[in-house]
Amino acid sequence: MKITRVRSILTAPDGIALVVVKVETDQDGLYGLGCATFTQRPTLVARAVEEYLDPLLAGRDPANIEDLWRLMYLNSYWRNGPVLNNAISGVDMALWDIKGKVAGMPVYDLIGGKCREAAMVYRHADGRDPQEVLENVLKYQEQGALAVRCQMGGYGGRVKEITRATAAPSEAAPQATHRGATPDRPASAFPGAYYDPDAYARSVVALFDYVRPRVDAGLFLLHDIHERLAPIDSIRLARALEPYRLFFLEDPLAPDQIEWFRRLREQSATPIAMGELHINPVEWRALVAEQLIDFVRAHLSAIGGFTPARKLAALCEAFGVRTAWHGPGDVSPIGHAANLHLDLASPNFGIQEVIRFGEPLREVFPGTPELRDGYLWANDQPGWGVDLNEELAAKYPIEVTPVLWTQSRWPDGTLWTP
């Protein structure tokens, strides 16, 4: 069997740019699909696939996944960047899809079989104030959710976006439109997504103080700091949240702050989740081996796909760390299926993040996993069990514009990790 062509498909059925890679073979009708979604830089991933991986892989046997993964990884000499990792992931997941189709088995069967029937998921409850967040949590609770993430406003609390127009030097500083986490800022402030880290941290404690006693005691609650605080303020917040028994507190620190995790661990018993921003194995090795985190959360395509994620899951198992793979809207249904197959086959699975899959997305990707009663369910079709309707995908072109939300700023205008 030989690979004949590797190409990428860009589509945005639910309004978020997704990158899918298709690996075609010389066997009639046999192909595989993989997720390569880096939504902030989708066209670069597509070019890496078509200009470098397609010629590299043409004529090779798709059965040798381990060898092909290393071939793609080492071929650029410089490695471990998000663009190339995503491109490698697109091919890697497609090769697993092909292997499953050849064997007539879902991927979770290929890697050892099910440890559980379905994966417990958490839903996202947002709101402008604690009351609105609570209403959304209760709505999910009624629908059978077992776990809910609570956020007030965007990441970092209520964010006020200043565009170039409102930040013209002749204008007075834009005024705060609501109390709380929207700060005043200097006149002629740079454009960006402004938030006040101190007000944000206080608002999170107030949020859980309001929500926790008003929902079922057994409902799991989560929160994502999204690296919005200075390290010591994250530690203080993790301690303040202990009485509310979070299932986990996510991204209290940035990937390059490994030393701070040691301090955080000594200070707080709030369970910690980390890893959606990881791209290089050195970023997670110490966190897992020193048991500094409780849940690993890699974005599968950003670390290079299913092959490295499977190894990461096994490493975590040895150290008592559980998995909580990244599953937001900027993961394609193929990527969600890859998360799910790993969830089903990993003894140390913890929880799965998931979004509501919109109707257009389900039509473009027939076989998308089903969300039911607080769990995500896979079908038992060979490979990932998810296909791509390319004609329909073409009806949802992606849009490439400068990303504003990653220009997150503190009240004085300082850029901070988004």
Site string (247-286) toward Mg ion, x via CB under 5 A: -----------------------------x----------
Both tokens assigned to 275:
């890893």
User: What is 329-350 written as a DSSP string?
Assistant: TTS-HHHHHHHHHHHHH-TTB-
276 versus 387: smaller Cβ distance to ligand GCO: 276
Check binding of 226 to ligand GCO (CB under 6 A).
yes
Least distance (Å) between residue 215 CB and ligand GCO: 21
E-strand stretches of 180-297 = 192-194, 220-224, 248-250, 272-274, 295-296
Q: Are strands 119-127 and 147-152 parallel, antiparallel or unpaired?
A: parallel
What, of ligand GCO, Mg ion, none, does residue 24 touch, CB below 5 to 8 Å by kind? Answer: none
Q: Which of 155, 195, 244, 396 is catalytic?
A: 155
* CB contact at 8 A, 183 and 171: no
Whole-number Å distance between alpha carbons of 210 and 220? 15
Q: Which of 124, 223, 226, 341 is catalytic?
A: 226
Site string (219-248) toward Mg ion, x via CB under 5 A: -----x------------------------
Site string (274-313) toward ligand GCO, x via CB under 6 A: --x-------------------------------------
Q: Which of 54, 97, 283, 330 binds ligand GCO (CB under 6 A)?
A: 330
Whole-number Å distance between alpha carbons of 122 and 78? 37
* CB contact at 8 A, 296 and 324: yes
Whole-number Å distance between alpha carbons of 6 and 247? 41
Q: How many CA atoms lie within 13 A of 20 on its CB side?
A: 30
DSSP 51: I
Is there a catalytic annotation at residue 155? yes
Check binding of 328 to ligand GCO (CB under 6 A).
yes
61 versus 256: smaller Cβ distance to Mg ion: 256
Whole-number Å distance between alpha carbons of 167 and 165? 5
What, of ligand GCO, Mg ion, none, does residue 353 touch, CB below 5 to 8 Å by kind? Answer: ligand GCO
Least distance (Å) between residue 164 CB and Mg ion: 28
Just list the catalytic residues. Answer: 155, 226
Residues of this chain that interact with ligand GCO (CB under 6 A) are: 39, 224, 226, 276, 328, 330, 353
